[in-house]
Each structure stands twice: as C-alpha cells, then as structure tokens.
Amino acid sequence: MNRKINVIYTGGTIGMIKSPETGALEPFRFKDVYEHLPMLNIIDAEIVCEEMLPLIDSSDTNPDFWKRLARRIYDNYEKYDGFVVLHGTDTMSYTASALSFLLENLSKPVILTGSQLPLGVMRTDGRENILNSIEIASAHLNGVPRVPEVCIYFENSLYRGNRTYKDNAEHFNAFMSANYPKLAEVGVNIKYNDPFIAKCSEKPLILHDEMDDNIGILKLYPGITHQAIRSVLNTPGIKAVIMETFGSGNAPSNEPFLHLLKEAVENNIIIMNVTQCKGGGTVEIGKYGASVALGKIGVVSGNDITTEAAVAKLMYLLGHNLSVQEVKHWMGIPLRGEITV
Ligand code: ASP
C-alpha cells in the first residue's frame, strides 16, 4: 500500500547546491527537489515536499522554531503516514529532543535527517539519508507504523532522537547514541531493533506548545572560579541549571562551591546533575564522596540524559508552570524514553 509521507525542509547543508554562476553553495528551492533526486519519482510512497520558511542554518533554532515545527506536524498529522524533517546537523539532536516532548502520544514516525555534504554535490550523503528516511517513515509491521517515535536517521543508522548528540563534523557518521541502542541499521536489508522501539500510542496526539527558556548550563572544569559559577546561578529569571559534572556525577567538594549551590537550591533554582561523559551509564549521586554533598544539598540526578535532551525537557516542563518539586519529580521519570532508570 502506498503510504503518504510529508518531507519538511527547514534548512541546513542538505538543501544546498553549487551555484553554476559563482560555484558557491546556495540553498535551492525545495520544490525543485525532484530534479536533484529523481529517485523520489519511483519510491514506493507518495511524497509531499514542503519548506518551512524562513530556511535557517540550524544554529538559529530556538524554542519558537521547535513550537512552529511541532504545530506543523500536529496540524497535518491526519493527512500523512509519517514525517521526514530535513534539518541542519548542528542542532538536530536538540530539535529531535524538543519534538519528542512537544508531541505526546505519537503513533506515526517523525524522522529527522540531513547531510554533511549538500544534495547538489556528487558525493553527497544526503541522497541515501533522505531515501532511507522515507522508506523507514513508510514502514509498517502488522498494519502499524514500525517506528512511531521521533528519530534521527543518519549514515545507515536510526536512533531515538532524544538520545543522540552530534559527535563529528567531518564524518558521514555524524551522530551517536551512547546510552541507548540503535533503533535500526540499514544495509542490504533494514534491520529493526524492535525491543528498543517505542510502542504505537493508542491515545490521541497531544501538542504541547509552551516552553520556558529560563535555564542555563554550568560546565564544571578544574579551576572554575566562583565568579564564573555565580554568573550562571545568578542569571536574572533563571529557574533551572544543567550542571555538567565529572564521571558518574562528581563535583568539587570545597565548602564555598557547595555553599553557592546550596544557596541556589534554597532560592528554588533546580540544579540537574548531568555528566560530561558521553557514555558508560548514569549519574550516581553518592557513589563517590565527591558527590555525596550534592545529594544532601538537593541537586537532582539527570541519570543518563544527554545535555541536549535535558535542555529540551527542562524547557518543556518549566513551560507547564509546574512547582519546583514537580519539575524535579518529572526530570527523574522517562517521559519519551530519554532516560533509563
Ligand atoms: N551549519 C549547518 C546546519 O546545521 C550544518 C549542516 O547542515 O550540517 O544548519
């Protein structure tokens, strides 16, 4: 059966072509995509390609962009069997994380992809990435979509979007998901990793379109000054801080540092402990002496969440006007498979 897939181009390298006049890379109008990708005409799905204007370099994504994209998918949800979002690679993991929270109860695939080389360049990786994403977005098993969640497809691998991070600016294999297995691998056949793929929701799709961006990131490093820490914790209006710690969630143990954190927690600022280690598990407050005090102060464990997903999840939860206790509670619960507890 022919499935109907909506391809939404938002910007980024994939939609560029070498200008015949200047030789420089310029975005092309995506309605002309069939000229650059004639295989789209023979693919076993009905494809509707659209642009979401203005096209942006993904460095310009922000909560407004995420809300617009989520709304667009929500508004067209009934018309299509799946969505493929073409997006710059630089912040694709943030957008995938944000969409996973803004679209609750998904029962259709939303697959983000892009490329390291533009579609208009001979050796582009964009061609395979788009065609495989469309095939995966159309895939069904026993009458239900095979991957009903927000994913990133890149260089033969399908990942849960809110588990990924951009790992390489040069290799075609640009994304990683260190704490969650791939959802599928593409070779001659597509091998789906079914036990790790979310189940189709039977509830109606809910669009959340509030996000609160009053958050900050405090990356610890040996020698960090108290002024540097204060500049983050004392940001006017700040409600939550992702504190990037060492190893399994460790931080300096000196009194003045702990006092700064304690003061912030007492002022109702949520401090999430997210490790700087990409893989190898989870934050374990109290495993080492260097993190025992954090637990006593009321710093919350981010478990194995990525910074990208923590940013999106905090903005999403804070957007719901929850109490500090409620936000802390929900940060510890997997809402879209973003953490393992
Ligand atoms: N700077 C570009 C972007 O993220 C890079 C890319 O598309 O891969 O929009």
CATH of the domain at 231: 3.40.50.40
Structural domain of residue 293, as residue ranges?
215-331
Q: Is residue 270 part of a domain?
A: yes
Predicted confidence (pLDDT) at residue 281 exceeds the cutoff of 70: no
Residue 21 has pLDDT above 90, yes or no: no
315 and 200, same domain (yes or no): no
253 and 217 Cβ atoms separated by less than 8 Å: no
Question: Is any ligand 1 atom within 6 A of the Cβ of residue 27?
Answer: no
Domain match, 237 and 202 both: no
Give the chain's radius of gyration (CA, Å). Answer: 21
Distance from residue 116's CA to the centre of ligand 1 (Å): 8
Structure tokens at 237: 């209006």
Q: Which of 207, 227, 243 lies at the terminal end of a domain, its last residue? A: 207
Say yes or no: CB of residue 148 within 6 Å of ligand 1: no
Task: Say if residue 151 is in the same domain as residue 267.
Answer: no
Q: Alpha helices of the chain — where are they, by DSSP H?
A: 33-36, 63-75, 92-102, 126-138, 226-233, 255-266, 289-297, 307-318, 324-331
Domain C-terminal end among 173, 207, 241: 207
Which residue's C-alpha comes closest to atom 8 of ligand 1? 89
How far is the CA of 178 from the CAs of 59, 83, 188, 280, in angstroms?
23, 25, 25, 7
pLDDT number for residue 289: 76
Dihedrals φ, ψ of 111, to 5°?
Answer: -115, 120
337 occurs within a structural domain: no
Number of domains in the chain: 2
The answer to whether position 338 is within a domain reads: no
Tokens describing residue 281: 């598990």
Clarify whether residues 137 and 283 are in a common domain: no
Say what percent of the chain tops pLDDT 90: 82
Instruction: Give just the sign of the alpha carbon dihedral 206, 306, 59, 156.
Output: negative
| One domain, residues 168 and 223 | no
Contact by Cβ (8 Å): 218, 240: no
CB 15 within 8 A of CB 118: yes
Residue nearest to atom 6 of ligand 1 (CA): 88
The band of 151, judged by pLDDT with boundaries at 50, 70 and 90, is very high
Single residue among 176, 207, 238 that ends a domain in this structure: 207
Please work out whether the CB of residue 118 comes within 6 Å of at least one atom of ligand 1. no
